[in-house]
Amino acid sequence: MNTIPIKNQTLLVVAENQSPSNPAELHWKWPEFLMNIPKPSAQSAAIERVAPNIWQIPLADGLKTLYEILNLGAQYQIPIRVLLLEDVPVWKRYAPSA
C-alpha cells in the first residue's frame, strides 16, 4: 500500500454561510465568526485564507488552526466542511473579464 507523506497533505476548510431557522441570528453570527478566526502563527505561514470563509491548511502544521476554526464553528453554529487533498493544490488565477 502506498502512503502519501503527511507533509504534502492539505486540508481545504469551508465555513458555510447557511440560513438558520432564524435569519436574523445569522446576521450577527456570520461576521462575528469570521472576525474571531485567529490569524495563523508565523510557524504556520503556509496557511492561506483563500476567501473570507475558505482556508487552505497544510496537515503537517495546521492542526491548531483547524481546531480553532472547528471550535468557533461549533460555538457560532456555523457548519464547517473539510476536504483532504493528497497534495498541495496549484491555484490558477483568472482576471475578471472587462
Task: Look at residue 12 and tell me if it is in a domain.
Answer: yes
Identify the pLDDT of residue 61: 85
Count structural domains, the chain. Answer: 1
CATH number, domain at 63?
A: 3.30.70
Identify the pLDDT of residue 46: 85
Average of per-residue pLDDT across 76-95: 88
Identify the pLDDT of residue 14: 94
User: pLDDT tens-digit profile of 23-80?
Assistant: 666 667 888 999 998 887 666 778 989 999 999 999 888 888 999 999 999 999 899 9
Task: Look at residue 24 and tell me if it is in a domain.
Answer: yes
Identify the pLDDT of residue 82: 96
What distance in Å separates the CA atoms of residue 91 and residue 69, rounded to the nearest whole number? 22
Identify the pLDDT of residue 96: 84
Identify the pLDDT of residue 28: 76
Identify the pLDDT of residue 22: 64
Identify the pLDDT of residue 80: 95
How is 20-59 classified by DSSP, letter by letter? -SSHHHHHHHHHHHHHHSPPPPGGGTT-EEEETTEEEEET
Using alpha carbons, list the distances in angstroms from residue 93 to 8, 76, 96, 97. Answer: 22, 32, 9, 12
Task: Look at residue 95 and tell me if it is in a domain.
Answer: no
Print the domain residue range for 49.
Answer: 6-85
